[in-house]
Amino acid sequence: MIELGVNIDHVATVRQARRTYEPDPVIAAALAEQGGADGITFHLREDRRHIQDRDVEVLIQTVTVKTNMEIACADEVVGIACRLKPDWALLVPESRQEVTTEGGLNVTGDDGRIARAVARLKDQGILTSLFIDPDPAQVAASAALGVDAVELHTGPYALAKRDAIQHELQRLIDSGKVASDAGIRLHAGHGLNYNNVRPVARIPDMIELNIGHAIVSRAVMVGMRDAVAEMRRILDVCCG
């Protein structure tokens, strides 16, 4: 059965629009759990544009399923993860100017920053994953760092039109095989929604999908519990 990680960042985006107290991502996480989430993902960005330090502290105390903290390879946020000890840490690239995550980590070109962040997290017993483009070389370089998983960036697949869709899906399939052969968990995320998720969920050895913006968007209309339950049903029907 595919594990569903629900990213609640954009519940916090709505709250931060007024710099106020609601909607609370902590409450959203509890409702997501009731809807069938297997994990809760939250991205403590260096610019704190949505998830705040308080959110992370309370989420790690209250979430009863897996906690998956997304962070850049930056000393400050890696230090916070090491102190708070989420179940998982997903290392992602970040830039101030981006609207959302644009690409995957450049693991093949790592100057040591990624390796040092992975080592610090592993020293604290935190499971580690790297957000990478669907590129066999990036998967192999990630496995060489001793991470527990890779999360393949499904953004190009989600944005692809017509013939490009199959090409991007094949990139994900090919990269997924490299991960499986290397013995690391295969995760995927970014831009997945109720319409495009099934082919990715069916990729051989796919273990976990992290989905946020589409679920939060649906939750605005129908509520978080039902929005998560609907995605859960789709994954259960298509992948058992």
Ligand X SMILES: CC(=O)[C@@H](O)[C@H](O)COP(=O)(O)O
Task: By CB under 6 A, name the binding residues for ligand X.
Answer: 7, 9, 43, 45, 70, 92, 100-101, 131, 189-190, 210
- Positions in 32-51 near ligand LD2JLWAY (CB under 6 A): 41
Other Cβ atoms less than 10 A from the Cβ of 81: the count is 25
| Dihedral over Cα of 66, 41, 225, 237: its sign | negative
| Run of H or E residues at 83 | helix 75-84
The answer to whether the annotation marks 18 as part of a ligand binding site is yes
Residue 64, classed as helix, strand or coil, is coil
The answer to whether the annotation marks 45 as part of a ligand binding site is yes
**152 CB-contact burial (10 Å; exposed 0-12 / middle 13-18 / buried 19+):** buried
Q: How far is the CB of 9 from ligand LD2JLWAY (least distance, A)?
A: 7
The answer to whether the annotation marks 212 as part of a ligand binding site is yes
The encoded tokens of residue 116 equal: 């040092």
Q: How far is the CB of 69 from ligand LD2JLWAY (least distance, A)?
A: 11
Check if 70 is active-site: yes
Q: Name the phi and psi angles at 5, rounded to 5.
A: -95, 125
The answer to whether the annotation marks 19 as part of a ligand binding site is no
CB closer to ligand X out of 48 and 233: 48
Name the residues that contact ligand LD2JLWAY, by CB under 6 A. Answer: 7, 41, 151, 189-192, 210-214
Which residues are annotated as part of the binding site for 3-amino-2-oxopropyl phosphate?
Answer: 7, 18, 191, 212-213
**Catalytically active residues, by annotation:** 43, 70, 190
